[in-house]
Structure 1
């Protein structure tokens, strides 16, 4: 039987839970042509939210075309521009013959090289001469508007992991160019989202940056524990299994409502359950989850300095005033300047984040592993009342 819990890929159908308000707001924004920026840590469900809303739009709006482009593996400006052009052209029509025709008719200065393989959906390629592309990148960036005007449609362009563009050597020039062109478009709306919160915040919330106030910013929050509790109960029931009320609440508590890990722990628990999931099944599942991720956590601590590791120890022990003399001495944190520098590094690396109560690990399973490794705190003890 197929598990009702999904992690490791986007979730937009039955395994998608809650996000009612966010879905409604994002859908309204995109339908009304309001550019939207979504910022949250990794694995909190940004991509799933966008996919769900886009799927709904595609099923209800005949005059609106959507395109979702993942920029995670894009490493150069040339790759970005070619991928942008290819995906926009593909999204404009369901017929590959139109793609080839559009590729030739839509550009004035650029001459695209187009080809289609046995399976057009996966074998359609488009490229340009790089020297020409650098001189006429405006044509690429304005392509959705050109197509929308020509076909009398609207476009929604969604760019996942948008902050990756900021790693390009000449990003500042590209950034100014994108903003200048995109803000003038009348029939195109953009949804830009990414998981590097400090980079996304710098791009969109810095008054000196071109994309400042480019659109509505959604700071995605965690799904509530109560919503997760209900979702877990119903998901087990839908597959002919049950889980105790206590354990259905304990799973999101252990994973601090982190979308990826709640789904993963619930999935492992479901796999180990024949009929009714109790503490024993959740304990086995939690242990399997931690062990499966241990090599990643080990690598995480190997890549940070000794004082950064000590700072994590202080945070894991609940220290609030990290620059207090007692805290710095107890955990060997160095000077207040060292603490500030290391804190910023760990934040920028998305290892910790600041909350109203101080600082906490972004990855709840990593925190459980960390406490077990460095303080011998058994995470299985957390399952008991």
Structure 2
């Protein structure tokens, strides 16, 4: 049996990457021309896959560009970040581990790194510092890529995923100022910063009071168009010896509202349970499987909400628009206008709802289907 052509839950392969031609071209141009770039979009819209695809293309065709992707999801404090940053920069500076080990004396003036390498240098290379000394000499780490670039005639492209996680560090406001102060002076290093918490990323980069305001170009990632999804799904079935009926293929992006993660997931489930030809019956079965698979996550999300926040979601689900009107507040037990405003902000900041054309809607289309089934007993079977 052939592997599924539809990938979700991880960054997609080049084969499964679909229809981001304009975004890919813009990001590629920005990074090759030294323009720092921030990518902002809701969770699971394909930011990481886009960056990995573009970085892969650069690595293949521009050998003088040293590319780095660092995931900050599990980094807990400034010191961990600085050590990881230093390690990845040193690794990217040379393909020879012997040069990594000798770099300590060459590039550090005040810090004394503890470098170690195991049987497999790519996975067993580490950089450690005395944390007290590290705090005194943050500039040596933040300037490290520029220092190496100048000494060795290189250029770096550094991509930091889940960048907003840095905001949880103790002393972040001062650290944020240092990041901007040093990085904005770099001539041989280009930064690509992106993350999954849209409201936090927007506040970091779009707030005039914050240091990273106007740090570079901001890309607001949009949804992939329906027709492109239809073409992609058809091709995926065809390339693996299957077919999908026209109505079935059209309904997949429609019911998932062109949400990249869920279009791929629903297409995969449909492909997986179909034999030769996928019909609406297979899509319905796949949709039930998808919602059931995600139900524990949705249940946990609901448990973290207050009763008035759940009631607010009910009003959103019913397409209400005048949330502070007496009728709507009484109908859904929303509390006072102040409560309405507070809950709206909380739900938007949690990326549960979003404002589109002055109306509120669910960010997660599968969660909306589950929510409507749980609270309104609405069937999500497609006729």
Band of TM-score, shorter chain: over 0.9
Q: For 1:72 and 1:327, locate their aligned partners in 2 and report how far apart those are by CA, in whole Å.
A: 40
How far 1:357 sits from its partner (Å)?
Answer: 4.7
Q: For 1:137 and 1:68, locate their aligned partners in 2 and report how far apart those are by CA, in whole Å.
A: 21
Q: For 1:49 and 1:323, locate their aligned partners in 2 and report how far apart those are by CA, in whole Å.
A: 40
Q: 2:218 aligns to what SS in structure 1?
A: strand
Which residue in 2 is equivalent to 1:29? 30
How far 1:104 sits from its partner (Å)?
Answer: 3.1
What are the Cα deviations for residues 276-305 of structure 1, in whole angstroms up to 9, with x where unaligned?
A: 000111111110010011111111111000
How far 1:323 sits from its partner (Å)?
Answer: 1.2
Q: Does 1:215 align with 2:216?
A: yes
Q: Does 1:306 align with 2:303?
A: no
Which residue in 2 is equivalent to 1:10? 11
Which residue in 2 is equivalent to 1:190? 191
Q: For 2:344 and 2:14, locate their aligned partners in 1 and report how far apart those are by CA, in whole Å.
A: 38
Spell out the pairing of 1:135-150 with structure 2 (5 A cutoff).
135-150=136-151
Q: For 2:305 and 2:134, locate their aligned partners in 1 and report how far apart those are by CA, in whole Å.
A: 40
Q: What TM-score, normalized by structure 1, do the two folds share?
A: 0.98
Question: 8 Å contact 1:12–1:51 — kept in the other structure?
Answer: no
Structure 1 unaligned runs (5+)? none
Which residue in 2 is equivalent to 1:371? 372
Q: For 1:128 and 1:321, locate their aligned partners in 2 and report how far apart those are by CA, in whole Å.
A: 56
Question: 8 Å contact 1:112–1:128 — kept in the other structure?
Answer: yes
Q: For 1:95 and 1:241, locate their aligned partners in 2 and report how far apart those are by CA, in whole Å.
A: 46
Q: Does 1:352 align with 2:353?
A: yes
Which residue in 2 is equivalent to 1:272? 273
Q: For 2:65 and 2:104, locate their aligned partners in 1 and report how far apart those are by CA, in whole Å.
A: 20
How far 1:247 sits from its partner (Å)?
Answer: 1.0
Q: For 2:106 and 2:163, locate their aligned partners in 1 and report how far apart those are by CA, in whole Å.
A: 29
Q: 1:379 aligns to what SS in structure 2?
A: coil
Number of positions where the alignment pairs a residue of Structure 1 with one of Structure 2: 382
Question: 8 Å contact 1:163–1:200 — kept in the other structure?
Answer: yes
Spell out the pairing of 1:1-385 with structure 2 (5 A cutoff).
1-380=2-381, 383-384=382-383
Structure 2 unaligned runs (5+)? none
Q: For 2:364 and 2:196, locate their aligned partners in 1 and report how far apart those are by CA, in whole Å.
A: 13
Q: For 2:296 and 2:217, locate their aligned partners in 1 and report how far apart those are by CA, in whole Å.
A: 39
Q: 1:189 aligns to what SS in structure 2?
A: strand
How far 1:355 sits from its partner (Å)?
Answer: 0.6
With 12-21 and 233-242 compared, the bigger mean Cα shift is at 12-21
Question: 8 Å contact 1:27–1:53 — kept in the other structure?
Answer: yes
Q: For 1:112 and 1:220, locate their aligned partners in 2 and report how far apart those are by CA, in whole Å.
A: 39
Question: 8 Å contact 1:89–1:103 — kept in the other structure?
Answer: no
Q: For 2:220 and 2:93, locate their aligned partners in 1 and report how far apart those are by CA, in whole Å.
A: 30
Q: 1:250 aligns to what SS in structure 2?
A: helix
In the TM superposition, structure 1's runs of 4+ consecutive aligned residues that sit over 4 Å from their partners are none
What are the Cα deviations for residues 216-236 of structure 1, in whole angstroms up to 9, with x where unaligned?
A: 000111111111010000000
How far 1:147 sits from its partner (Å)?
Answer: 1.0
RMSD: 0.8
